[in-house]
Structure 1
Amino acid sequence: MRRLTPAARGVLLTIALLLVFSWTLMALVLVPNEASLGTAATGVGMAVTAFLLGVRHAFDADHIAAIDNTSRKLTDDGKDPSGVGLWFALGHSTVVVVAVGLVTAGVGALTAQLGADDSPLVVVTGVWGPTVSSLFLLVMAAVNLWILVGLVRGRGVHDGRPRGGGPVSLMIGRLSATLDAPWKLFIVGLLFGLGFDTASTIAILVLAGGAGAALPWQAAMVVPLLFAAGMATCDGLNSIVTARIYRWSVDRPGRRRRYNIALMSISISVALVVGVVGMCGVLVDTVGVGWGPVQAIAATDLDVFGFVIVAVLLLAWAASWAMSRRRRGVAFTP
Structure 2
Amino acid sequence: MWRLSPAARATLATAAGLPLVGWALFATLVLPGETGAEATTFGFGLAITAFLLGMRHAFDADHIAAIDNTSRKLVADGRDPSGVGLWFALGHSTVVLVAVGLVTAGLGALTSQIGVDDSPLASFTGVWGPTVSSVFLLAMAAANIVILVRLSGGADGSAPAGREHPAPAGIVSRLIARTSATLDAPWKMFVVGLLFGLGFDTASTITLLLLAGGAGVVMPWYAALVLPVLFTAGMVMCDGLNSVVTAGIYRWSADEPERRRRYNAALISISVAVALAVGTVGLSGVLVDAGGVRWTPVVAVASIDLEWFGPVIVAAIVLAWLTAWIAARTRGRISTAS
Q: Do the two structures share a fold, i.e. TM-score over 0.5?
A: yes
For 2:169, the equivalent position in structure 1 comes to: 167
Give the letter for the 1:156 counterpart: D
Q: Deviation at 1:324? A: 4.5
Aligned partner of residue 335 in structure 2, secondary structure: coil
Q: Deviation at 1:14? A: 1.5
Residues 76 and 158, structure 1, Cα contact 8 Å, conserved in 2: no
Higher mean Cα deviation, 59-68 or 116-125? 116-125
For 1:262, the equivalent position in structure 2 comes to: 266
CA distance in 2, matches of 1:107, 1:201: 15
Residues 280 and 294, structure 1, Cα contact 8 Å, conserved in 2: yes
Distance change >3 Å, CA 288–CA 155, structure 1 → 2:
farther
Distance change >3 Å, CA 213–CA 170, structure 1 → 2:
closer
CA distance in 2, matches of 1:133, 1:4: 30
Is residue 3 of structure 1 aligned with residue 6 of structure 2?
no
Give the letter for the 1:74 counterpart: L
For 1:206, the equivalent position in structure 2 comes to: 208
Give the letter for the 1:274 counterpart: V
Residues 34 and 40, structure 2, Cα contact 8 Å, conserved in 1: yes
Q: Deviation at 1:113? A: 1.6
For 1:54, the equivalent position in structure 2 comes to: 54
Is residue 189 of structure 1 aligned with residue 178 of structure 2?
no
Of the three residues 240, 265, 278, the one matched with 2:282 is: 278
Aligned partner of residue 78 in structure 1, secondary structure: coil
Higher mean Cα deviation, 319-328 or 70-79? 319-328
Please list, as runs of the form range in 1=range in 2, the aligned pairs for 1:295-310 lying within 5 A after superposition. Answer: 295-310=299-314
CA distance in 2, matches of 1:155, 1:287: 46
For 1:113, the equivalent position in structure 2 comes to: 113
For 2:135, the equivalent position in structure 1 comes to: 135
Residues 113 and 121, structure 2, Cα contact 8 Å, conserved in 1: yes
Which runs of 5 or more residues in structure 2 are unaligned? none
CA distance in 1, matches of 2:333, 2:145: 34
Residues 282 and 302, structure 2, Cα contact 8 Å, conserved in 1: yes
Which runs of 5 or more residues in structure 1 are unaligned? none
CA distance in 2, matches of 1:31, 1:159: 60
CA distance in 1, matches of 2:11, 2:207: 27
Of the three residues 291, 296, 300, the one matched with 1:292 is: 296
Residues 204 and 224, structure 1, Cα contact 8 Å, conserved in 2: yes
For 2:316, the equivalent position in structure 1 comes to: 312
Q: Deviation at 1:44? A: 1.2
Q: Deviation at 1:144? A: 0.1
Q: Deviation at 1:152? A: 1.9
Give the letter for the 1:234 counterpart: C
For 1:329, the equivalent position in structure 2 comes to: 333
CA distance in 1, matches of 2:14, 2:308: 28
Aligned partner of residue 283 in structure 1, secondary structure: helix
CA distance in 1, matches of 2:175, 2:63: 24
For 2:238, the equivalent position in structure 1 comes to: 234
Please list, as runs of the form range in 1=range in 2, the aligned pairs for 1:6-21 lying within 5 A after superposition. Answer: 6-21=6-21
Residues 77 and 158, structure 1, Cα contact 8 Å, conserved in 2: no
CA distance in 2, matches of 1:5, 1:331: 30
Q: Deviation at 1:43? A: 1.1
Q: Normalization by structure 1: what TM-score?
A: 0.93
Matched residue count: 328
Residues 245 and 316, structure 1, Cα contact 8 Å, conserved in 2: no
